[in-house]
């Protein structure tokens, strides 16, 4: 028998074998059809790949390490885990790429910047691989011209509010099951007054989070055809922005945190943990850390509904780099991490939302905080399609969000009005979209 | 033979400072968003910098910071050097205290003052409130932010300059001072007419060092304010850093700004040096 | 009345011990020094105290001076969750090797500049001085590109070598060497000693104060340096303390209380060193005659 026939038989055999394992429902890591072939095993033995990684929580780091250990046993290769601080994620990666020192795979939240460095996953994982994931979640990792899959959606994030249940109870305000922004602000202020907490509200200093509020008022910035749609939703955007800037200007939300940190990212998580704000608008990735560090009862509550309900999507992605010396192994590693078994385990431990079609339909059973995760999942389902529009311009999302954030800083400091924010943001989006034509 | 001695130092120098500096100069005439592909833009970056209103503001901030930093640092360090020098009791203790901030990492300095100057939970405002001084937003009002940053900058380096001046003071011939005292001169008179003039060369060194430090200030400012509030404390080095490390990445622009910064520092240093030379000649 | 008696009665200070009252100058001076001590020590002490506070205390308003509960877990977590010992050892390693290297090559270059006459000497020296003025951020990316093309990225040497040729070091040592009489060197040459021997056995030992100053500056700077190691150290095993601190401070959710604890722990070694060496530092600077 010649070599290629042998390997074909090996592949076929392993597929049959793994199908059999799936059928019997064995919960081992080797189940679900992610067996490397014999040929691959011999090629990969002793090879090493680098995983450029950042984590939201300790749970995520621990699970990653244990999954890497399993992967190493499975393939005989080694994975070097490089943990990078979130704030220097892109800069360090750029430095490495510039220095010819690219990692093999990376976990990112802004894959758009690396499209031209990414590995064509369809070549290694097949054209149908993309179908394993939710349609909306693959937009940001689809090559804009070749339309091929260049990354794996690792988790789905949904923005939304957390509340300090203890403070709410103390103030006699009921935990909301549905509300609009007016009610949210009123509840926050009421709890603030009754309990003496420093603030009524806090939101991450981020254009991405603010977009959630805008979406609920029916205002969007870019649509799926890469068009600037903010002009047609000007007044609604103003309304949404004004709610946030008013709270911050009046120092009912942590004004100092927003203004005093310059170009650096800041999150009021510490303020929420110190119980100085009853409402904390962030997203589901906070659940793991809050679960560990909060010394009070907290809960995720549904996003307020104005014109729309639902949250705002985001996510983390895994991509492999075309500079990798072991592209086959790298692609397989991505597939491994994003496979049903591994993704389910990670979702459970780190309180993530799945991006796989099979996991979404069967549901992930979280050991604790399942109520919170259900709230986020429900909001994920309710998120309007228009919210995904901005993902049509993956290389520009960072700049658009950052500009929005900077404009809001100026408004909070009293230099401009929400109306001017919207006008300047429109102009900015236009200049950014124009760079695409070049 | 001397070449052998000089070689290791020069080799590292040329490979890791001179060559990259030349490369940086080269890059300033290109545009690059990833450090790998370069598109030539001629003097485009320089024109962009000179025509950019944010650059004007950054330049203004840098000028304000450097001027105040240098003047305050020089005067205060001379004062402290004189004072500590006169001190008989626990001189070593005070010298050590002075030098303490110099030893802290800039990140730690930023963290310390971030905490102390916090409008709500910082001890400074708690103290001010107790004596009825209100609660200024040191890190959130643009003007106060600049004051805070200048203060912290001086706080960090004061000891460094003072120690150098102290060394200079020790180099002054005691017999001169004793003779003047015997002639009936008062302490302040001695300081003014003998000590200060003899301290001039050291003072010049301080001025030059402070100017260079002033222009290069970045690490602790970035940790303290991130360049805020509203860009009030964004100095030129941060402008360069942002061009290279924050999206949108623009290496060419950052390099051009770096070249300009180098030339400014060079000009100031040369000026300082020449003025100092002139005064000595007279 | 005699002049002395006049003065004595005019003196309003009735002192029991018979000592002279403190002059205005002394009072002013002492006040100044005490204020200075407070302004310098107070923030640092506050910081150290803060490292023992938990999240609620840190957010308390108005702030309390002492923690209500001494949160030692800030420190224990720093050790458990983060590889503090490793970062510490890395810092120690990089700092000490870098300092030795710096001393070696700087003193060699300074010797050449001070005691030899060779073509291009002055030009090279001026160039060396001019380099003090280039801020690292300006040439960060080009240096990184050079370092990575030499394969030094992600290595200890990559962190140590590039910055070892410090212009200030060369300057300080040269200044001091200028004061060493040429006759000494001439005499040794006549005795038949080799050039390097003269340098190592005769000149260097005489330069101790200058070497001490450069050593101390190098230690201080390398221990606290974070920008360059941050770029070079691309795997956790290489992280030095400041890199680890920057890492913590840059996480999506900053464990602020641990950042504080680690910062305090990073100050201690330098503090220690200084308390014992501050005399040498001042003397060293004095003797190098910064003129």
Q: What is the ipTM of this complex?
A: 0.80
Inter-chain residue contact C253 with A276, CB threshold 8 Å: no
Reduced to 3 states (helix: H, G, I; strand: E, B; else coil), residue A196 is coil
- Each residue of A418-428: pLDDT tens digit? 999 999 999 99
Q: State the pLDDT at residue C217.
A: 82
Which H/E stretch holds residue B158? helix B142-170
Reduced to 3 states (helix: H, G, I; strand: E, B; else coil), residue C255 is coil
Q: State the pLDDT at residue A20.
A: 41
Are A332 and A121 a contacting pair, CB within 8 Å?
no
Q: Between A188 and C126, name the one with better pLDDT.
A: A188
Inter-chain residue contact B247 with A90, CB threshold 8 Å: yes
Domain residue ranges of chain B, discontinuous segments joined by +: 54-281
A416 Cβ under 8 Å from any chain B Cβ: no
> Which residues of chain B are within 8 Å of residue C128 when distances are taken between CB atoms?
13
Kindly state whether residues C163 and C41 are assigned to the same domain: no
> Which residues of chain A are within 8 Å of residue C234 when distances are taken between CB atoms?
82, 92, 96, 101
Select from B118, B140, B226 the Cβ nearest to the Cβ of A263.
Answer: B226
**Please, what's the b/e burial string for A194-217 (b: 16 or more CB within 10 A of its CB; e: otherwise)?**
ebebbbbbbbbbbbbbbbbbbbbb
Select from B35, B222, B242 the Cβ nearest to the Cβ of A94.
Answer: B35
Res. C33 pLDDT band, cuts 50 70 90: confident
Inter-chain residue contact A409 with B233, CB threshold 8 Å: no
Inter-chain residue contact C153 with A101, CB threshold 8 Å: yes
Chains that touch A (3 or more CB pairs under 8 A): B, C
Inter-chain residue contact C251 with A58, CB threshold 8 Å: no
> Which residues of chain B are within 8 Å of residue A262 when distances are taken between CB atoms?
222, 225-229, 231, 233-234
Select from A56, A274, A275 the Cβ nearest to the Cβ of C253.
Answer: A56
- We find that the CATH architecture of domain B54-281 is Orthogonal Bundle (1.10)
> Which residues of chain A are within 8 Å of residue C246 when distances are taken between CB atoms?
85, 88
Interface test with A, best of C82, C248, C252, C260 (most A CBs within 10 A): C252
> Which residues of chain A are within 8 Å of residue B231 when distances are taken between CB atoms?
262
Domain end call among C73, C92, C107? C73
A410 Cβ under 8 Å from any chain B Cβ: yes
Chains that touch C (3 or more CB pairs under 8 A): A, B
- Each residue of B4-55: pLDDT tens digit? 888 888 888 888 888 888 888 888 888 877 667 788 888 888 888 888 888 8
Kindly state whether residues C196 and C226 are assigned to the same domain: yes
Residue C217: which CATH number? 1.10.3720.10
Res. A172 pLDDT band, cuts 50 70 90: very high
Kindly state whether residues C153 and C203 are assigned to the same domain: yes
- We find that the CATH architecture of domain A41-157+314-379 is 3-Layer(aba) Sandwich (3.40)
Q: State the pLDDT at residue C251.
A: 67
> Which residues of chain B are within 8 Å of residue A399 when distances are taken between CB atoms?
247-248
Inter-chain residue contact A413 with B226, CB threshold 8 Å: no
Nearest CA in chain C to B1: C195
- Each residue of B111-157: pLDDT tens digit? 889 888 888 778 888 888 888 877 888 888 888 889 999 999 999 99
Kindly state whether residues C162 and C281 are assigned to the same domain: yes
Q: Kind of pairing, strands A151-164 and A298-300?
A: antiparallel
- Each residue of C252-272: pLDDT tens digit? 566 777 888 888 888 888 777
Q: Between B84 and B73, name the one with better pLDDT.
A: B73
Inter-chain residue contact C147 with A286, CB threshold 8 Å: no
Helix extents (H) in A316-369? 327-337, 340-350, 357-362
**How far is C-alpha A215 from the chain's CA centre?**
17
Q: How far apart are CA A51 and CA A140, in angstroms?
A: 20
Interface test with A, best of B58, B226, B227, B235 (most A CBs within 10 A): B226
Domain end call among C23, C57, C73? C73
CB pairs under 8 A between B and C: 252
- Each residue of A383-435: pLDDT tens digit? 888 888 888 887 788 889 989 998 999 899 888 999 999 999 999 999 889 88
Kindly state whether residues C85 and C62 are assigned to the same domain: no
C32 Cβ under 8 Å from any chain B Cβ: yes
pLDDT higher than 50, residue A28: no
Domain enclosing residue C153, as ranges: 75-287
Q: What percent of chain A has pLDDT over 90?
A: 43
- Each residue of B204-222: pLDDT tens digit? 888 888 888 888 888 888 8
Nearest CA in chain C to A87: C250
> Where in chain A are all domains bearing CATH 3.40.190.10?
41-157+314-379, 158-312+385-437
User: What DSSP line would sit under A201-237, residue for residue?
Assistant: -EE-S-HHHHHHHHHHTT--SB-TTS-B-SGGGHHHH
Using CA atoms, how far residue C223 sits from A279, C56, C210, C284, in Å, is 41, 32, 20, 20
Interface test with C, best of B9, B14, B15, B199 (most C CBs within 10 A): B9
Angle between helices A340-350 and A327-337 (to 10 degrees): 60
Inter-chain residue contact B35 with A95, CB threshold 8 Å: yes
Q: What is the mean pLDDT of chain A?
A: 85
Inter-chain residue contact B222 with A264, CB threshold 8 Å: yes
Nearest CA in chain C to A294: C55
Reduced to 3 states (helix: H, G, I; strand: E, B; else coil), residue A83 is strand
Inter-chain residue contact A95 with C149, CB threshold 8 Å: no
Q: State the pLDDT at residue A437.
A: 67
Number of domains in chain C: 2
φ/ψ bin of C79: left (φ > 0), alpha (ψ from -120 to 50), beta (otherwise)? alpha
Select from B116, B126, B201 the Cβ nearest to the Cβ of C291.
Answer: B201
User: What DSSP line would sit under B244-259, residue for residue?
Assistant: HHSSSP-HHHHHHHHH
Q: Kind of pairing, strands A48-53 and A279-283?
A: unpaired
Domain end call among C42, C73, C104? C73
> Which residues of chain B are within 8 Å of residue C226 when distances are taken between CB atoms?
105-107, 219
Q: Which C residues in the span 205-234 are in contact with B, Cβ-Cβ below 8 Å?
A: 220, 223-224, 226-227
pLDDT higher than 80, residue A292: yes
Are C165 and B272 a contacting pair, CB within 8 Å?
no
Kindly state whether residues C103 and C229 are assigned to the same domain: yes
Select from B155, B187, B269 the Cβ nearest to the Cβ of C133.
Answer: B269
User: What DSSP line would sit under A252-304, residue for residue?
Assistant: SS-HHHHHTTTTS---THHHHHTT--SEEEEEGGGHHHHHHH--S-EEE-PPP
Using CA atoms, how far residue A194 sits from A36, A166, C62, C291, in Å, is 61, 12, 19, 67
Nearest CA in chain A to C55: A274
Select from A255, A263, A413 the Cβ nearest to the Cβ of B246.
Answer: A263
Q: State the pLDDT at residue C7.
A: 52
Q: How far apart are CA A148 and CA A121, in angstroms?
A: 8
C217: distance to nearest CA of chain A, Å?
28
CATH code of domain A158-312+385-437: 3.40.190.10
Kindly state whether residues C26 and C84 are assigned to the same domain: no
Inter-chain residue contact B234 with A262, CB threshold 8 Å: yes
C104 Cβ under 8 Å from any chain B Cβ: yes
Kindly state whether residues C130 and C208 are assigned to the same domain: yes
What is the average pLDDT across A245-272?
85
Kindly state whether residues C176 and C49 are assigned to the same domain: no
Q: State the pLDDT at residue B67.
A: 93
B118: distance to nearest CA of chain A, Å?
8
Q: State the pLDDT at residue A4.
A: 44
Q: What is the mean pLDDT of chain C?
A: 79
Q: From the CB of residue A183, how many other CB atoms can be counted at a distance below 10 Å?
A: 13
Instruction: For residue A108, count CB atoms less than 10 angstroms from its CB and return exposed for 0-12, middle for 13-18, buried for 19 or more.
Output: buried
> Which residues of chain A are within 8 Å of residue B234 when distances are taken between CB atoms?
262-263
- Each residue of A93-137: pLDDT tens digit? 887 887 777 899 999 988 888 888 899 998 888 888 989 998 878
């Amino acid at each position: 028998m010649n070599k290629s026939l042998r390997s074909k038989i090996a592949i076929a055999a392993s597929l049959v074998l793994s199908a059999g394992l799936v059928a019997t429902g064995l919960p081992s890591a080797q189940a679900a059809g992610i067996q490397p072939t014999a040929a691959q095993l011999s090629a990969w033995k002793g090879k090493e790949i680098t995983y450029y990684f950042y984590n939201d929580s300790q749970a995520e780091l621990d699970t990653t390490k244990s999954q890497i250990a399993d992967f190493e046993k499975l393939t005989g290769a080694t994975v070097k885990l490089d943990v990078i601080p979130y704030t220097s994620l892109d800069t360090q990666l750029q430095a490495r790429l510039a220095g010819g020192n690219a990692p093999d795979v990376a976990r990112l939240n802004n894959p758009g910047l690396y499209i031209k460095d990414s590995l064509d996953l369809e070549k290694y994982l097949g054209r149908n691989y993309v179908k394993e994931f939710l349609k909306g979640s693959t937009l940001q990792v689809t090559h804009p011209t070749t339309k091929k899959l260049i990354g794996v959606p690792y988790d789905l994030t949904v923005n939304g509010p957390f509340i300090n249940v203890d403070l709410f109870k103390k103030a006699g305000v009921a935990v909301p099951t549905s509300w609009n922004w007016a009610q949210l602000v009123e509840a926050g202020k009421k709890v603030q007054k009754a309990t003496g907490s420093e603030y009524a509200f806090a939101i991450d200093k981020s254009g991405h989070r603010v977009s959630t509020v805008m979406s609920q008022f029916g205002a969007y910035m870019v649509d799926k055809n890469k068009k600037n749609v903010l002009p047609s939703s000007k007044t609604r955007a103003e309304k949404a922005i004004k709610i946030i800037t008013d709270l911050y200007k009046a120092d009912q939300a942590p004004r100092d945190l927003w203004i005093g940190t310059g170009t650096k990212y800041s999150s009021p998580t510490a303020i929420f943990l110190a119980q100085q704000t009853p409402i904390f608008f962030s997203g589901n990735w906070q659940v793991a850390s809050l679960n560990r560090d909060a010394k009070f009862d907290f809960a995720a509550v549904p996003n307020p509904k104005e014109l729309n309900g639902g949250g705002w999507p985001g996510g983390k992605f895994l991509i492999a780099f075309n500079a990798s010396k072991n592209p086959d192994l790298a692609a397989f590693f991505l597939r491994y991490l994003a496979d049903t078994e591994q993704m389910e385990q990670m979702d459970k431990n780190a309180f993530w939302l799945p991006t796989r079609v099979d996991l979404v339909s069967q549901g992930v059973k979280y050991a604790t905080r399942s109520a919170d995760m259900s709230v986020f999942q429900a909001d994920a389902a309710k998120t309007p399609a228009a919210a995904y529009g901005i993902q049509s311009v993956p290389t520009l999302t960072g700049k658009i969000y950052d500009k929005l954030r900077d404009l809001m800083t100026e408004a909070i400091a009293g230099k401009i009005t929400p109306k001017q924010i919207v006008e300047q943001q429109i102009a900015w989006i236009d200049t950014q979209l124009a760079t695409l034509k070049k | 033979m001397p070449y052998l001695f000089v070689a290791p130092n020069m080799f590292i120098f040329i490979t890791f400072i001179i060559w990259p500096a030349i490369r940086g100069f080269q890059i300033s005439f290109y545009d690059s968003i990833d450090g790998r592909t370069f598109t030539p833009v001629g003097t485009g970056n320089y024109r962009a910098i000179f025509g950019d209103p944010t650059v004007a503001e950054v330049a203004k901030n840098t000028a304000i910071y450097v001027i105040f930093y240098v003047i305050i640092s020089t005067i205060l360090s001379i004062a402290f050097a004189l004072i500590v020098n006169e001190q008989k009791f626990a001189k070593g203790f005070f010298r050590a205290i002075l030098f303490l901030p110099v030893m802290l990492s800039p990140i730690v300095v930023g963290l310390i003052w971030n905490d102390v100057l916090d409008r709500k939970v910082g001890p400074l405002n708690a103290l001010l409130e107790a004596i009825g001084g209100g609660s200024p937003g040191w890190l959130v009002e643009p003007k106060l932010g600049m004051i805070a940053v200048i203060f912290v900058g001086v706080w960090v380096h004061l000891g460094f300059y003072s120690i150098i001046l102290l060394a200079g003071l020790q180099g002054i011939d005691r017999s001169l001072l004793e003779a003047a005292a015997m002639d009936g001169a008062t302490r302040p008179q001695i300081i003014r007419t003998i000590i200060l003039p003899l301290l001039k060369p050291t003072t010049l060194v301080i001025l030059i060092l402070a100017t260079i430090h002033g222009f290069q200030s970045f690490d602790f400012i970035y940790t303290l304010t991130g360049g805020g509030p509203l860009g009030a404390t964004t100095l030129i080095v941060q402008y360069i850093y942002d061009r290279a490390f924050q999206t949108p990445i623009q290496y060419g622009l950052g390099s051009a700004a770096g070249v300009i910064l180098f030339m400014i520092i060079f000009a100031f240093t040369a000026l300082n040096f020449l003025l100092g030379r002139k005064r000595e000649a007279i | 009345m005699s002049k002395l008696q006049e003065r004595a009665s005019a003196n309003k200070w009735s002192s029991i011990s018979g000592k002279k009252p403190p002059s205005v100058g002394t009072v002013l001076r002492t006040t100044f020094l005490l204020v200075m001590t407070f302004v310098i020590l107070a923030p640092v002490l506050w910081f150290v105290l803060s490292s023992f506070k938990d999240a609620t205390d840190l957010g308390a308003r108005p702030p309390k001076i002492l923690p209500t509960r001494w949160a030692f877990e800030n420190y224990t977590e720093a050790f458990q969750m983060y590889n503090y010992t490793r970062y510490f050892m890395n810092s120690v390693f990089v700092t000490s090797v870098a300092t030795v290297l710096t001393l070696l090559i700087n003193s060699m270059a300074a010797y050449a500049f001070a005691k030899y006459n060779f073509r291009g000497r002055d030009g090279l020296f001026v160039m060396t001085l001019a380099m003090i003025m280039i801020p690292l951020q300006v040439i960060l990316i080009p240096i990184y590109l050079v370092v990575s093309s030499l394969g030094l990225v992600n290595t200890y040497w990559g962190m140590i070598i590039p910055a070892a040729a410090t212009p200030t070091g060369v300057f300080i040592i040269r200044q001091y060497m200028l004061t060493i009489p040429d006759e000494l060197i001439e005499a040794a040459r006549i005795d038949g000693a080799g050039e390097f021997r003269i340098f190592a056995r005769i000149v260097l030992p005489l330069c101790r104060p200058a070497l001490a100053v450069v050593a101390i500056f190098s230690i201080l700077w390398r221990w606290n340096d974070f920008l360059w190691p941050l770029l070079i150290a691309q795997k956790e095993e290489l992280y030095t303390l400041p890199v680890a601190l920057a890492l913590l401070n840059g996480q999506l959710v900053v464990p602020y209380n641990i950042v504080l604890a680690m910062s305090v722990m990073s100050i201690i070694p330098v503090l220690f060193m200084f308390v014992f060496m501050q005399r040498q530092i001042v003397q060293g600077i004095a003797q190098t005659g910064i003129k």
